[in-house]
Amino acid sequence: MKTTKSKIRCGGMLTILVLALGLAVEVAKTDFTFSESPVERKQLRVLFIGNSITNRIQNTLDRVIQASPYSESTFEYVAPDGATLQAHMYSENTMSKIRSSDWDFVVLQEFSNRPTLPNGRGRSPFYEAVANLSEAIKESGAQVVLYMTWGRRDGDPQYPQISPDYETMQQLLIEGYREAARQVDAIIAPVGVAWQRVRRNKPELGRQLYSDTIHPSYKGAFLTACVLYATLFDADPTELAFNDSLSAEEAAYFRSIAKEVFIPFVDLNGDGIVDIDDLLMLIEHWVQDEPSVDIAPPPFGDGIVDVQDLEVLMSYWGQPVDDPTLIAHWALDETEGMIAYDSTGTNFAFVIGGAVWQPSGGQVDGAIQLDGVDDCAITGSIPNPAERPFSVFAWVKGGAPGQAVLSQMGRARWLCADPSEGNLMTELKAAGRGVNELLSQTIITDGNWHRIGLVWDGSHRTLYVDDVAVAEDAQDNLQGLENGLYIGAGSAMEPGTFWFGLIDDVRIYNRAVTP
Ligand SMILES: [Ca+2]
Ligand SMILES: [Ca+2]
Ligand SMILES: [Ca+2]
């Protein structure tokens, strides 16, 4: 099936592909990292226009700038509590401030729920105010920056039907700010995206970003300041040696997140390398508005797949992939010992039962061989996959009907062979009666290597075998939780569920990957 798919793709796209590869050679040197030459360092004059979401980060941002190579910069703020951009637009004080100086950037921050509300109530006054203010800002010779804010901690209590929870409100804010930026050709400071990363990857710390349900704590202010710093100075925030009042570890984590939001997702099919398969996916959607491959400019593209996306992809060609959406990755390349390391961080797995490392027997370097009796690997907690789109992949060889590749402790088997035939199956499903496991008709226990996967995009779950979708159904939520996993055993380590064979390269992403 894989061959057929590739043939169809290649046949129709060959001409474009050849052109793209020719172009790629010329653009391969393009680098989307931050500018770093000291001679390029320029002190800036920046005006912020907003409300308490701005004035609560003002002192932190000033300290970050003071501790940076840009300490001679001038930052001023017009940010009375509760102000909307519409109010600023009618404010003589704000308008004269815009005209009063030779600003490099003017940063606009809207009242926190306006960009989430339907056109009549929020979005159109937001767009209108951005357009009006931008006109004045551009006339004064400055560039417009939109300070994309974060969703309220528990959603919007005033409009629960629109933003019932944080994640929904954040998505609406991202959409609203993107559209506003598109209309006036503004730069986005993706602060809300950084908050979303923290809330997704470290839920407890994510709630600590708030001082109440709306405003930033000193932690939230520090994360925000790092993103604004990176946006305005085009500088790498991880080079700042400033922790403010945070622990060194937390400050370093927030700086790394502030950098990550500018790293594009170049490994489109989630297999750890940027190669021809990723390029084919991009070419397949050439000049279309396809979010899954619209990687440039980071962090969320610009609504079209074009030469800019190709340049970014090619700039990572053949390089190791640093994908911020890869939240856990057990390469299983160890040669000895009882620990399987997680290449994305600290979530190592304990190997029990006497499983045997196979350093030259894997599909991607080494793999682990399990005996089908009591061997498996036990991981630490991973973030709840049910809260957002997620994908999980593994390479497997061997196995028998009823055996499991990956299960959540005390919950569902995420990837397993069904008990009668050995077809790929998942038990991860929505809450409620009448919802069943998803069963494919593709046998994975035939003794050959297979790359198996489960993807939930927020509305559908799809099973993959060897990069081909083999089963799919609608599933608008999932029953998951923040918990550990068993690699190579069922969710209660029941006899008969232990995998007898090889497992390699287990990957979990917090995005919907199309393999
Ligand atoms: Ca790839
Ligand atoms: Ca693009
Ligand atoms: Ca491996």
Cα distances from 215 to residues 28, 256, 291, 511, in angstroms, run: 43, 22, 30, 27
Res 387 pLDDT > 90: no
Confidence of residue 465 (pLDDT cuts 50, 70, 90): very high
pLDDT at 213 over 90: yes
- 393, β-bridge pairs: 453, 507
d(CA 420, CA 98): 71
pLDDT band of 20, cuts 50, 70, 90: low
Rounded Cα–Cα distance for residues 313 and 291 (Å): 15
DSSP string, 499-515: -EEEEEEEEEESS----
CA 32 to ligand 2 center in whole angstroms: 13
- What is the number of the ligand closest to the CA of 306? 2
- Distance CA(323)–CA(302), nearest Å, equals 19
Q: How far is CA 41 from CA 66, 103, 283, in A?
A: 14, 16, 37
Query: Does residue 27 have a pLDDT over 50?
Result: no
Distances in whole angstroms, Cα of residue 472 to Cα of each of 92, 246, 315, 332, 342: 57, 45, 34, 29, 29
pLDDT band at 485 (very low <50, low <70, confident <90, very high): very high
Entry field: residues in the chain: 515
Mean per-residue pLDDT over the chain, rounded: 90
Token pair in block for residue 144 = 């417009």
Give the type of residue at 139: E
| Ligand with the closest atom to the CA of 307 | 2
* pLDDT tens by residue, 256-267: 999 989 888 889
Ligand 2 centre distance from Cα of residue 149 (Å)? 22
- Calculate how far, in angstroms, residue 339's C-alpha sits from the geometric centre of ligand 3: 14
Distance 322 CA to ligand 2 centre (A): 19
Per-residue 3-state assignment (H helix, E strand, C coil) for 356-423: EEECCCCCCCCEEEEECCCCEEEECCECCHHHCCEEEEEEEEECCCCCEEEEECCCCEEEEECCCCCE
User: What does the pLDDT average to over 305-310?
Assistant: 92
Mean pLDDT of 374-390: 88
The SS3 of residue 77 is strand
Please report which confidence band the pLDDT of residue 41 belongs to, taking 50, 70 and 90 as the band edges: low
Q: How far is the CA of 359 from the centre of ligand 3 (A)?
A: 8
296 CA distance to ligand 2 middle (Å): 4
Opening angle at CA 174, ends 172 and 177, nearest 5: 105
Instruction: State the average pLDDT over residues 366-384.
Output: 94
Cβ < 5 A residues, ion ligand 3 = 331-333, 362, 364-366, 504-505
- 54 Cα: distance to centroid of ligand 1 (angstroms): 39
Q: Which ligand is nearest to the CA of 449?
A: 3
CB 475 within 8 A of CB 430: yes
Q: How far is the CA of 295 from the centre of ligand 1 (A)?
A: 14
Q: Please tell me the predicted confidence (pLDDT) of residue 40.
A: 59
Q: What is the mean pLDDT of residues 271-288?
A: 91
244 CA to middle of ligand 3, Å? 40
% residues pLDDT > 90 (the chain)? 71
Q: How far is the CA of 509 from the centre of ligand 2 (A)?
A: 22
